[in-house]
Amino acid sequence: MCIIRFLKNWTLPVSMLSGVLGYFLFRAMPIGAEVKGDILLFTELLQPVLLFFMLFVSFCKVAPHELRPHRWHLWLLLTQLGVFTLCCLLLWAFPSTGARLVIEGFMLAMICPTATACAVVTQKLGGDSAATTSYTISINMAVALLAPLMLPIAHPQNGLTFLPAFLAIISKVFPLLIVPLFMAWFVRYLMPGLHRRILQTRDLAFYMWAVALSIAIAVTCRALVHSDESLWHVGGIAVATLVACLFQFAFGKWVGGHYSMRMEAGQAMGQKNTVFIIWLGYTFLSPITATAGGFYSIWHNVVNSYQLYRKRKGEEV
């Protein structure tokens, strides 16, 4: 019982540590490259499936009429989009700057949409998950419009124009955000028996997220191990994403505090879809920039673990 209680209380740190150990054990396994390739392919397919059903379960607990805009949404949107735009213009004005990779890592951490797991953690912290879900939808739509406009300016590439970039981003956002939402509404109104059963699974989404997190950390370790960039660049990106993480949690809480939603706004701005950061970096910038998603995954989950610890102690988060 002590072990079970420990695992429940420290799910996120255990999940992160499992991801690190899991990767290095996998790397040391005496199996062929073909088998390892199949295992990697399986984990790549498993992670989005877990995220899809995790979000579906979370959306089942949110009634459609609860998804409404809040005033603090606007301030968070303007801040994220504004800082990202300024970073893109800075890279356009100084294309040969030695700090390019660090700036790119920072701006990806700023523009990245709210994590699909944000509603799960918000519920765990006792907050209004509907408010964070509404912001998750808003920021994803905003990113789908702004990123294709600004990324070709910050990092020009042959053939990279607005429409192909927009369609590529929508293809990532739609299946893992909009489809689970519609499925949840379908089950709510047309399959009430199944809907009641889903509502009875109190922490199912949280534990699915823990498994997905473990996979994400393992992928992060793999990317860092195979990176051939200098420690200076990798360390700079790590520091930049840490600054972005702490700023966004703090700024979100400060803004949300003015609307009696301090914790919700902090989660909405600080907890990121780090898989999206990695994909955005690989697709539109550079492989090393994609490590920003891995570092941010560590930072925001350390913050979440600390907040859950404070919640268990009855302190304000």
**Over the chain (317 residues), what is each successive 10-residue block's mean pLDDT?**
66 82 85 79 79 80 84 97 95 88 93 85 88 91 90 80 82 79 88 86 75 79 71 86 96 96 95 84 79 86 89 81
- 252-284 core/surface letters (b: 16 or more CB in 10 A; e: else): bbebbeeeebbbbbbbbbbbbbbbbbbbbbeeb
pLDDT at 6: 66
> Is the entire prediction scored with pTM above 0.75?
yes
Q: Which residues pair with 114 in a beta bridge?
A: 272
Contact 152, 92 (CB under 8 A): no
CA gap 281, 301 in Å, rounded: 20
CB contact set of 53 (below 8 Å; sequence gap of 6+): 180, 208
Q: Which residue has the tokens 């789908």?
A: 144
CB contact set of 304 (below 8 Å; sequence gap of 6+): 12, 121, 271
CA distances from 226 to 27, 220, 287 (A): 12, 10, 11
Q: Which residue has the tokens 């990806």?
A: 108
Q: Which residue has the tokens 């429409």?
A: 163
CA distances from 315 to 262, 306, 310, 311 (A): 14, 11, 5, 6
CA distances from 177 to 150, 170, 221, 273, 283 (A): 23, 10, 26, 11, 20
pLDDT at 83: 96
